Amino acid sequence: MGQPATLKKISSQLNLSISTVSRALKNHPDISENTKRKVKELAALMEYEPNSYAVNLRTNKSKVLGLIVPDISNMFYDSFISAAEKDARKCGYSLLILQSGDDPLQESENLKLCKHYRVDGIMISLAPESCSTELLAKYQEAGISIVFFDKVPAEGDFDTVCIADEEAATIAAHTILKYKKKNILALFGNQELSITKKRRDAFLKILQKEQEVQTQVQYCTKTEDARQQTELALNSSSIPDHIFCMSDEILLGVMKAMKKSDLRIPEDISVLAMSNGFIPGLFNPEISYIETSGYELGKLAMKRMLDNMDNKTEARSIMLPTRLIQGNSL
Amino acid sequence: MGQPATLKKISSQLNLSISTVSRALKNHPDISENTKRKVKELAALMEYEPNSYAVNLRTNKSKVLGLIVPDISNMFYDSFISAAEKDARKCGYSLLILQSGDDPLQESENLKLCKHYRVDGIMISLAPESCSTELLAKYQEAGISIVFFDKVPAEGDFDTVCIADEEAATIAAHTILKYKKKNILALFGNQELSITKKRRDAFLKILQKEQEVQTQVQYCTKTEDARQQTELALNSSSIPDHIFCMSDEILLGVMKAMKKSDLRIPEDISVLAMSNGFIPGLFNPEISYIETSGYELGKLAMKRMLDNMDNKTEARSIMLPTRLIQGNSL
DNA sequence: GATTGTGCCGCAAACAATTGCGGAAAGGGT
DNA sequence: ACCCTTTCCGCAATTGTTTGCGGCACAATC
């Protein structure tokens, strides 16, 4: 019992051929009920399980999907992964999860790993300055389904699933206007990312129509940057009456700076964020936010991947609708 | 170029045998330098890569490790996974990550999946009421390295890696005594878990020696439970002068309740938690905590796993030391 | 000229599962 | 007695890689 059971071992025990055992276990009509019963009994006893390597070798399918994210340890991505894993499991797929660490080099290494493990599909959120799209296009040619999510390529004919960035930013801008805010500090992330550009452009498109509204845009890649930017603004001659945060990381920095000031939310200054939902609830008052759900995006992306592998539908972009979740910060 | 390159294709192009090509690529001394050069050039051109299924089939090794956690979307586990993935990659291993959802049934299904994919090792944090230890013992017999982490089995001769729970709880208790607290509300998690028992017992062992110190113990499985318990205590006739939180989830519930009251931290009531480090920094004042680092535990567990697979050392329990991180809540 | 040695390479089996094809045995019909 | 059908099963090839063994050809030695 030490070594795992194989068809060969079962067949030699029963004085049958390997092929007969294989067919018996698969209910092939050629095999008599009597033989089937005996084979199945022994197989169960020996805890036989087909060797997945051998099966994969023949079928050239692995039932494994590659999932590449910048960092697993991240509110957004971990909920994405959590959702994706659950839905993948339901359809018999497992996930090979790899981190790029926002490094283009490591990203391409990850892709090679996916190739090496011959995954059936790859879901990827790109690193900044990624140069992996050509490689991915080649993989797609070779029959691997590719789904981009969240950080998607700006160009190319690919399957993408992402937050409805323009819509979300538009909702945010309209909400801020509704509350008659006039002096807005808008904090965005890495301005190289298309996600940042999309959100910023849609946001500004609304606000710049209003002549009496002042909007100051700043970019901050990290929480600490956001804290400093906020502190600067709060100590400036024209203190903003509203702060907009493009992400959870930025919101955290803003709130750290707010703690040090004695401005009240929302009486003196209001706050609106775009968030996965966890962080805004931690503050008092709870921060209003436009929901950008990693969990929902994970479900959507996995659905797309599974559809894709069934019936090679053509490439298209899918957006996850967003909505305003009201806290008391506005 | 559509189909992936194989030894056979290379060999037929060069009029060599498959075995010669294989040996040439592996720098076997039997093969002439001339042939090696030609083979390697064509292999590079055709982007040859050994079929991992075929290799695995022969070697019966996969270079994949199974990693089973209750939920990926969790502060502690996502930092654990992040660390584990990085270190695994360095040694040529990849991770198959599965979620049990704290469900014993799904946990055993995950284990079967690991078996099916013939992983080289399994790292697992057990679900409550798990009944997987026998199965895991069997897998270990079959040659799969098993490392338990965080939620480890109470009994059995296994490799375990976990937070030094007793030490952490002891530090917590001594810290609380140092600040002369007399009326303590101590909130613990699911009392079925050995992690809870260990922390509670070590904690109480110190505090119950002190006659003038009152300690009220409550169990709360979720954030909301913790909030309710805290609210109850704050509205009771004897308001505690200190709250101890066994975990981040509990700390969140406590702080939600605290927001509604006008008690000041640390003047009116002090707080000490056990935490991964992220949550305590979000509050004002920052909460003091005993560090229970998922990231460090991930590094430690992966090291143990890799050691284990190299030189079958005997089973042992490893503890990750902890320390007090001072905020201003005490 | 026959033997030995060396360099270079191919055959075939092994890993495990799957499957088209063919074949033996048994039964029934003429 | 012969043929045909049905039932049940095995042979062998296939997927790609690895490896022990053996073998061919050419050169060197006795």
Please check whether residue B28 is in contact with residue B16, taking contact to mean a CB–CB distance below 8 angstroms.
no
Cβ of B53 within 8 Å of Cβ of A295? The answer is: no
**Amino acid B1: pLDDT:** 46
Does A54 score more than 80 pLDDT? yes
Q: Please state whether strand D lies within 7 Å of residue B22 at its CB atom.
A: yes
End-to-end CA distance of chain A: 67
Does A254 score more than 60 pLDDT? yes
**Amino acid B264: pLDDT:** 92
A64 Cβ under 8 Å from any chain B Cβ: yes
Confidence of residue A312 (pLDDT cuts 50, 70, 90): low
Does B276 score more than 80 pLDDT? yes
Q: How far apart are CA B74 and CA A74, in angstroms?
A: 9
In the 1-20 segment of chain B, residues within 7 Å (Cβ) of strand D are 6-8, 18-19
What are the pLDDT digits (tens) for B182-217? 999 999 999 888 889 999 999 999 999 998 999 999
Q: How many CB atoms lie within 10 A of CB B237?
A: 4
Q: Which residues pair with A151 in a beta bridge?
A: none
Q: How far apart are CA A36 and CA A38, in angstroms?
A: 6
Distance B20 CA to D22 C1' (A): 15
Among A38-42, A92-96, A307-311, B49-53, name the one with the lowest average pLDDT: A307-311
Cβ of B53 within 8 Å of Cβ of A51? The answer is: no
Nucleotides of strand D lying closer than 7 angstroms to a protein CB: 7-12, 14-22
Average pLDDT, chain B: 92
Average pLDDT, chain A: 92
**Model pTM?**
0.88
Q: How far apart are CA B118 and CA B257, in angstroms?
A: 48
The type of residue at B286 is E
**Amino acid B155: pLDDT:** 83
Q: How far apart are CA A180 and CA B124, in angstroms?
A: 53
Distance B211 CA to C3 C1' (A): 100
What are the pLDDT digits (tens) for A218-232? 999 999 999 999 999
Confidence of residue B313 (pLDDT cuts 50, 70, 90): confident
**Amino acid A314: pLDDT:** 74
Q: How far apart are CA A123 and CA A83, in angstroms?
A: 13
Q: What is the mean pLDDT of residues A298-305?
A: 96
Q: Which residues pair with B97 in a beta bridge?
A: B67
Q: How far apart are CA A126 and CA A315, in angstroms?
A: 18
Per-window interface: B 90-119 vs A, CB < 8 A: 94-99, 101, 113, 115-118
Q: What is the mean pLDDT of residues B4-8?
A: 89
What are the pLDDT digits (tens) for A71-94? 988 889 999 999 999 999 999 999
Q: Please state whether strand D lies within 7 Å of residue A32 at its CB atom.
A: yes
Does B314 score more than 50 pLDDT? yes
What are the pLDDT digits (tens) for B126-176? 998 889 999 999 999 888 999 999 999 888 889 999 999 999 999 999 999
**Amino acid A173: pLDDT:** 97
Q: What is the mean pLDDT of residues A265-292?
A: 94
Q: Which of B71, B78, B98 has the CB atom closest to A72's CB atom?
A: B78
Instruction: Calculate how close chain B gets to A2, using CA atoms only, in Å.
Output: 6
Q: Which of A55, A76, A94 to mutate to test the interface with B (most CBs of B within 10 A)?
A: A94
**Amino acid A2: pLDDT:** 57
